């Protein structure tokens, strides 16, 4: 076990739990919800430049919003293995 696993222990899911997660995360309603969140974050990203922020603040916020969008894109790309 490496030091990271000691500091942050891995989370292990049973086969049944994995199946439940797959069904939940690929549910059409949840997928639409993820897309709506990504849309709102994309709108926030495009509106950053109109806020009159400093360049440093824009970069910080851009990184934050971009990270959220990337997570949401990952969630919307999930599919159940056949």
The pLDDT, as a whole number, for residue 33 is 94
Long-range pairs of 22-31 with CB within 8 A, sequence gap ≥ 24: 22/78, 22/80, 22/81, 23/80, 25/75, 25/78, 26/78, 26/79, 26/80, 31/75, 31/76
Residue 46 confidence (pLDDT) above 90 = no
Q: What's the mean pLDDT in 1-29?
A: 91
Say what the pTM is: 0.71
Residue 14 confidence (pLDDT) above 90 = yes
């Amino acid at each position: 076990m490496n030091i990271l696993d000691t500091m942050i222990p891995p989370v292990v899911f049973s086969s049944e739990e994995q199946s439940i997660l797959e069904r939940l995360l690929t549910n059409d309603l949840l997928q639409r919800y993820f897309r709506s969140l990504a849309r709102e974050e994309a709108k926030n990203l495009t509106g950053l430049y109109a806020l009159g922020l400093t360049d440093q603040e824009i970069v910080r916020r851009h990184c934050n919003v971009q990270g959220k969008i990337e997570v949401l894109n990952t969630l919307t790309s999930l599919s159940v293995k056949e």
